[in-house]
Amino acid sequence: MGTFDNITLASREYEFNSPSIEPLEIDEDPSGLLRGGVGSTIWDAAIVLAKYFERSNTLASRTPSGIAEHTLHVLELGSGTGIVGLAVARMLSAKGVKAKVFLTDKENCMPLLQRNIGKNPSKGVDVIAQMLDWETVSGAKAKSDDASGTDFDATATQEPASSEEVSNKSSHRLESVRWDIVILSDCIWVTALYPPLIDTLNNLIRSSDSGTQLVIAYEKRNFAEEMEFFAMLGKTFRFKDVKPEEQDPNYQSEDIYLFLCQHQ
């Protein structure tokens, strides 16, 4: 019996501002039968961030002019359904940019993530699903006093999923790549994971990677706790907020914040 047999998935269409770009069709798991937790749902911050990428020149500015052979390397942490990374891949494809886009999450999110990658190919862009546990990469453990009752799984490994989509990428090490763009969308709601997440970012984006753009989106839920994350981030990254006038006028919210960050 296949993973999706007898499971009813909801499908959501993401339409691009440009009618020349084919819409995405993203599956969600409202029943929870895949046990993907919050990673099986499309959250508002993801839509706001994807629409920001459409409007801004962030993607174009990461592609060196006059270097035809350059391959853009994009990494998303906590990809969930994959909607942000897949939207970025589709935009890069429309611009004729050669790219590799890595979408990462914990093990239980892989089946749905791989399904959405398979449903939404982008010509000229290689999209890869890879399991990534922040605790494994960083060596830092989630704070046990905050972990009870939260919806995260520390059992995922750093090795890629053994599926057709990623089987040829099994030896790839994320830490060895000089990333052009790293994406973090709505991943700071569990305070227990702040230390391993910060350490993972520092491992993946080194101080020498001055050209790497870290883009963060999150929806405000507990402002005091979320400021703890940015205080930790500010020790190694400098960042600025994206003003409302820089975002898509139809896809923004006073409760959703976007930040552009670079390693100091």
Q: Identify the pLDDT of residue 108.
A: 86
User: Residue 140: its pLDDT value, please?
Assistant: 58
- Report mean pLDDT in 10-residue bins for the chain, 264 residues: 72 96 94 71 96 90 63 95 97 94 93 96 96 76 45 34 38 80 94 95 85 95 94 96 97 97 93
Predicted local distance difference test score (pLDDT) of residue 28: 92
- Quick one: pLDDT at residue 58? 83
CA distances (Å), origin 197, targets 18, 30, 58, 61, 252: 34, 27, 23, 26, 25
pLDDT at 8: 82
Cα torsion 220, 225, 230, 231 to 10°: value is 150
Can you name the CATH fold of 10-263?
Rossmann fold (3.40.50)
Domains in the chain: boundaries: 10-263
* pLDDT score recorded for residue 135: 82
Q: What is the pLDDT of residue 36?
A: 64
Give, as one character, the DSSP assignment of residue 156: -
What's the pLDDT score for residue 30? 78
The C-alpha torsion from 8 through 10 and 11 to 14, rounded to 10°, is -160
Q: What is the pLDDT of residue 157?
A: 34
Residue 133's pLDDT is: 87
